[in-house]
Amino acid sequence: MTVDVQINDISYEEALVDTGNSCYISVNLEMVERLNLPKRVLNSPRQVQGVSQGMNEEITHYTWAAIDVGGYKVQKAYMYIIPKQRHKMILGLRWFEEHKVTINCEGRALIFQKENIKVILKNKTDVNLECVQIDSSEFIKDMLGAVQVFAASMEDIEKALSVKTPVDPREYLPEYLLPLIDAFEPKNATTLPPHRQGVDHQMPLETDENGKEKEVPWGPLYNSPTRIEPDASKWAVGGVLLQCKNKSYEEQDDEEALWLP
């Protein structure tokens, strides 16, 4: 029986549930190097037998990592490194005893009595997906630059190019909206609403000697390379002219801002 174990919040590894293994937790060297886990030398080597396809091995190093088994988290779990171990990780008897974990063989689950957590073990039919973490910005960039290929029939093209039949809103509006039928006319959707005197605001612009409206002034934002002299700008708001010639640009960190009263 196997279960998925998350290592250091970055990788999920398949661990063998083996109470016949007297070790705490053991991992193979390939997983340690792939996840760049730390390695330390044991004070005295230990002999191990029975987990390396019938070969005797000597344990000389150990490692540690944060592990998460179905929501049960251990911030620092120590693990023996067995280089030729067939399984990536083996949860041994000592680990089950320390964390008070029981195995429900009939329900194929691990019961963590401390936290009252039940973890369903993996079935042999589960698909092992090799997922690779990718950067979100690179993924969005690839999606924006992607090309979509699709097929369109002549019927689809003719339908798209055909003249659209005007829709009569009376066929779709409920009865209580019929007095406002003019608001739903398609031809009125392309026009601006009428000006409401005393409600809507307006900004009359200055005119030159020929009665033509002057160009609307503007102020540079952020790192704009263009500079506008303060005494060249006049703003009209609600018919009142705002003279900006006595106002100045405040420069800070090479950024310019126009301050209006």
Task: Report pLDDT for 79.
Answer: 93
Q: Which stretches within 76-131 are classed as H helix? A: 93-98
Instruction: Say how far apart CA 203 and CA 213 lie, in whole Å.
Output: 12
The pLDDT value given to residue 221: 57
- The pLDDT assigned to 241 comes to 40
How far apart CA 174 and CA 169 sit, in angstroms, is 10
> CA-CA distances (angstroms) from residue 63 to 5, 19, 161?
16, 21, 68
pLDDT of amino acid 231: 40
Q: Which residues of the chain fall short of a pLDDT of 50?
A: 51-52, 54, 227-261
Residue 190: C-alpha distances to residues 49, 187, 197, 200 (Å): 83, 6, 22, 20
- At 19-71, the pLDDT tens digits run 888 888 999 999 999 999 999 999 888 877 654 454 567 889 999 999 999 88
- Can you tell me whether residue 238 is helix, strand or coil? coil
Q: Which residues of the chain does CATH 2.40.70.10 include?
A: 2-120
CATH superfamily of 2-120: Acid Proteases (2.40.70.10)
The pLDDT value given to residue 129: 66
